[in-house]
């Protein structure tokens, strides 16, 4: 199957790829909400204020990713770009807090998946635009059937047999087409 082919239910391959990658937005939202919960529960009295600040930030980022997932599923490229920027910024802030190579690899993978989602979204939008342009250029043949013309209000005159201008009938017309003679120099006048 190539790009633009219909998979099922009128959905193209690009649409299926976009929907498959939008799931990662929900995964990121779940991770952010879990991080917000652990930040809220962590720390002593002095660290509780910092933990609450990080918890609120992670909660807002998690909600933002749910909203971005909705718009990304509708194939809006800006949702993928906003998700990439927001997630990269959150990764940088997380690296400033502490360095965890496993967490860094996981965030790099999720960033890569969002990049793939952006590419799939752009390809799906190009395919949709191409199909729209193709449908606009498609010629529609007029439909006319004998039953449709019989039921119309404007009755057409009955076809008449062929008559030559001089009153000759069809049997008087020669079967061979007229060809000019090379020997004639002047046209004949009637």
At 183 the pLDDT is: 58
> What are the domain boundaries of the chain?
6-133
CB 52 within 8 A of CB 2: no
pLDDT digit string, tens, across residues 101-118: 888 898 899 999 999 989
Sequence-distant (6+) residues with CB within 8 A of 29 are 62, 63, 65, 66, 69
Average confidence score pLDDT of the chain: 75
* Site of tokens 């509780």: 48
pLDDT tens per residue across span 10-36: 667 778 888 888 888 999 889 888 888
């Amino acid at each position: 199957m190539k790009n633009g082919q219909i998979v099922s239910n009128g959905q193209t391959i690009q649409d299926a790829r976009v929907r498959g990658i939008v799931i990662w937005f929900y995964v990121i939202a779940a991770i952010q909400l879990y991080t917000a919960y652990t930040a809220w529960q962590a720390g002593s009295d002095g660290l509780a204020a910092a933990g609450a600040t990080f918890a609120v930030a992670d909660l807002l980022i998690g909600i933002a990713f749910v909203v971005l997932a909705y718009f990304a599923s509708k194939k809006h490229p800006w949702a993928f770009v906003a998700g990439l920027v927001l997630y990269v910024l959150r990764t940088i802030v997380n690296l400033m807090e502490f360095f965890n190579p496993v967490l860094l690899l996981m965030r790099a993978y999720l960033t890569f998946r969002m990049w793939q989602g952006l590419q799939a979204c752009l390809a799906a939008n190009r395919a949709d635009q191409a199909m729209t342009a193709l449908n606009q250029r498609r010629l529609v043949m007029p439909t006319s059937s004998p039953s449709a013309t019989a039921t119309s209000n404007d009755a057409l005159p009955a076809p008449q047999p062929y008559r030559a201008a001089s009153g000759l009938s069809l049997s008087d017309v020669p079967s061979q087409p007229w060809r000019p003679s090379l020997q004639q120099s002047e046209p004949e006048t009637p």
